[in-house]
């Protein structure tokens, strides 16, 4: 068997080698899915209704789909899912959509919804009390409505934020403005996110470097601990549940199991686990 040795002059050389090696492995293992934008002749409206989207890219086995369309002046993007763990990650961790036309100076991010403040979430939970898990397990239509706490947070968010390549806010827009426009229609069972991005110079989408853009969808970490609150019957909690591989999907178990709004998996202290993380990348060819 062939063997080789690498000698390092000092600890800094070793750390630099490790950093380069990890970067190489990450680049080699990560990839973007190539898709084509469809031409929008007025069929797609930013209204939170997924029926407008006739051409979607479905992520196999993950209960999540993405759509890309454009006209002469705008790029239209959709994210549609009925995976409750992914819905919770979007609402509890926030969502950023990054659009890179090939030049870092033209890269922009769209942040919406904003991640709720953990302290504010805890205060809301204290006001509302623990969820009714027995009612949740029945699976009736009456439980389809969005959790009041999450509904309350969304109703407060009337603006989206445009970010520069470093994550700094360039400008904010009302979600129903004439330029940027966004609609998020969600309940416990499904989520439809629609976004219109105007073409033009920053803070719009600058396509001067070509007709291909990279689009990344990323949710944040859910940062909310329940401390030593008593867990109601049916919430589970036999040690830490494994979160599964990133971007894991599939239908969650009934009764508010791992990833459900009512009872995500967690440890005995009730800390929420970051399941159903949103982390998808696409290389989109724009239709001229």
Radius of gyration of the chain from its Cα atoms, rounded to whole angstroms: 21
Spatial CB neighbours of 252, under 8 Å, sequence gap ≥ 6: 83, 84, 85, 258, 259, 260
**pTM of this structure:** 0.71
- CA gap 36, 51 in Å, rounded: 19
State the pLDDT at residue 193: 98
State the pLDDT at residue 249: 37
State the pLDDT at residue 4: 42
State the pLDDT at residue 138: 55
Name the phi and psi angles at 197, rounded to 5.
-115, 120
Angle at 101 between CA 100 and CA 105, to 5 degrees: 70
pLDDT digits (tens), the chain, 288 positions = 444 455 545 444 544 544 444 334 333 344 689 999 999 999 999 999 999 999 999 998 999 999 999 999 999 999 999 999 999 999 999 999 999 998 889 999 999 999 988 888 788 777 776 555 555 555 555 567 887 888 888 999 999 999 999 999 999 999 999 999 999 999 989 999 999 999 999 999 998 767 899 999 999 887 655 443 333 333 333 333 333 333 333 333 333 333 333 333 333 333 444 457 899 999 999 987
For 242, the 3-state DSSP assignment is coil
State the pLDDT at residue 82: 94
Are β-strands 279-285 and 33-36 bridged in parallel, bridged antiparallel, or unpaired?
parallel
Name the phi and psi angles at 119, rounded to 5.
-65, -40
């Amino acid at each position: 068997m062939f063997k080789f040795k690498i000698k390092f002059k000092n600890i800094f050389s070793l750390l630099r080698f490790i950093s380069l090696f990890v970067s190489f492995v990450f680049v080699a293992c990560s990839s973007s899915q190539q898709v084509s934008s469809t031409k929008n002749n007025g069929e797609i409206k930013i209204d939170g209704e997924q029926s407008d989207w006739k051409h979607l890219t479905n992520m196999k086995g993950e209960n999540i789909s993405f759509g890309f369309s454009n006209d002469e002046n705008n790029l239209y993007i959709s994210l549609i899912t009925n995976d409750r763990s992914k819905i919770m990650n979007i609402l509890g961790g926030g969502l950023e959509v990054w659009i890179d036309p090939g030049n870092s100076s033209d890269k922009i991010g769209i942040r919406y919804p904003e991640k709720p403040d953990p302290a504010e979430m805890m205060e809301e939970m204290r006001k509302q009390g623990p969820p009714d898990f027995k009612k949740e397990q029945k699976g009736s239509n009456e439980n389809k409505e969005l959790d009041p706490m999450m509904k309350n947070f969304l109703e407060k968010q009337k603006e989206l934020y445009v970010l520069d390549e470093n994550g700094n806010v360039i400008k904010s827009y009302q979600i129903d403005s004439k330029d940027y426009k966004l609609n998020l229609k969600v309940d416990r069972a499904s989520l439809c996110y629609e976004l219109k991005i105007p073409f033009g110079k920053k803070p719009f989408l600058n396509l001067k470097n070509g007709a291909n853009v990279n689009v990344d969808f990323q949710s944040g970490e859910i940062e909310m601990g329940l401390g030593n609150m008593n867990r109601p019957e049916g919430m589970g909690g036999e040690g830490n549940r494994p979160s599964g591989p990133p971007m894991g999907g599939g239908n969650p178990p009934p009764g508010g199991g791992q990833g459900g709004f009512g009872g995500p998996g967690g440890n005995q202290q009730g800390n929420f686990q970051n399941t159903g993380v949103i982390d998808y990348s696409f290389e989109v060819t724009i239709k001229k």
